[in-house]
Amino acid sequence: MPKFNPSILLVDDQEDNIYTLERRLKKDGYTQLTSATNGTDALQLINSNSYDLILLDLMMPDISGLEVLEEIKSDPNLRHIPVIMITASDEREIAAKCIKSGADDFIIKPFNSTILQARVSSSLNKKMMHDMETQYFHKIEEEKKQSDELLHSVLPKMAIGDLKSQDYLKPRRYEDVVLLVSDLVSFTSFSEKNSPEAVVESLQSLFEHYEESMSDYGFEKIKTIGDAFFAVSGIHTFTDQPIISAIKLAVQMQNIASASPQKWRLHCGIHKGPVVAGIFGKQTLQFDLLGHTVNTAFRICDYSEENEILMSQSAWMSCRKQVRAKSKGILELKGGIHLELMQFTNFKN
């Protein structure tokens, strides 16, 4: 008995031969049998149905078995189907030509039950192995796709390209990067009063909306740390006026936050300067930025009041002709950093 229930097509212009094949195949446990008495009907069936094996008579009046075979083997969607040619004892040379054209085997009329069973079983086993390999490769492709999607969710596109090409991302220094850091006002008290599911759902919804706005302003997300959201421009994404874009993005994020069910308010900090970028970790990869500029951007955010957009004086200087801002003086930030901070008020006409 076969290990699976294959679908077999029998093609022969002699009904007696089809009857003999059906009887012997059913005796061996094959029950999904379809027949055709000419090559034209056979090709129509093959193109509209799925078969695991074709037993194909060589000599037929309309289209020869060799022509049908060549049609099958020239079609990328059909050529994996094993074909056993049915030949007369004096057709061995033509049978050999069929083998060269892609036939998997041949049997000679009158049929020997043992030979028939062995060759049908062998061809079906090859088909089953082919199907298993195809399923395996499809699974590998799907896993690769999921892996790529996961990489794209945690690493920048350029970093992924370098990793794939050389299995290593060389750390780089970037000289003029604009950083935007934001976090939520009163998030700690919110997380203490609500379930973990509600907290995560709130952040997830908010961050998804942030991410949808990133590319419109030439920014990319680097990471989130709790309720803090860290985005940059000047590493893999660029814009002609990055500070202005950062301010516009910050305003957009404020609007998104205030429109959320929790009506969040934000702290926002903007800074610019050199950073070092690289991938850290082995089992768990993370693309990150390092340097004094990064630390300063986070401290500017910490110093900002609710729904206030603060920027360093150096950041404001690069857009001072287009942006109005109010100086908050030279302030001492965490870590002993002394820096003049500017509060964004509006854009100049």
Residues 226-246 have pLDDT tens digits of: 999 999 999 888 899 999 999
**Helix or strand run (H / E) with residue 335:** none
Pairing of strands 337-347, 308-312: antiparallel
pTM for the full model? 0.58
- Residue 166 reports pLDDT greater than 70: no
At 315, is the secondary structure helix, strand, or coil? helix
What is the band of 47 on the pLDDT scale with cuts at 50, 70, 90? very high
Alpha helices in 175-312 (DSSP H): 187-193, 196-214, 242-258, 292-303
Higher pLDDT pick, 57 / 161: 57
Q: Cα-Cα-Cα-Cα dihedral of 40, 46, 52, 54, to 10°?
A: 10
- The mean pLDDT of the chain is 88
What is the predicted pLDDT for the residue at 6?
A: 92
Return the domain boundaries, the chain. Answer: 7-142, 157-347
CATH architecture of the region 157-347: 2-Layer Sandwich (3.30)
Please return the burial class of 249, using the count of CB atoms within 10 Å of its CB with bins 0-12, 13-18 and 19+: buried
Q: How many helices (H) and strands (E) does the chain have?
A: 11, 13
Are the C-beta atoms of residues 267 and 226 closer than 8 Å to each other? no
> What single letter denotes the amino acid at residue 250?
A
**Helix or strand run (H / E) with residue 220:** strand 220-225
Structural class in CATH, domain 7-142: alpha beta
**Helix or strand run (H / E) with residue 9:** strand 7-11
Query: In the chain, pLDDT over 90 holds for what percent of residues?
Result: 60
Q: What average pLDDT score do residues 93-97 get?
A: 80
| Residue 193 main-chain phi, psi, to 5 deg | -95, -10
HSE of 306, CA atoms in CB hemisphere, 13 A: 9
Euclidean distance between CA atoms 202 and 143, whole angstroms: 30
- Residue 1 reports pLDDT greater than 50: no
> What single letter denotes the amino acid at residue 295?
N
Does 7-142 match 157-347 in CATH topology? no
- DSSP character at residue 168: -
> Which neighbouring-strand residues pair with 325?
344
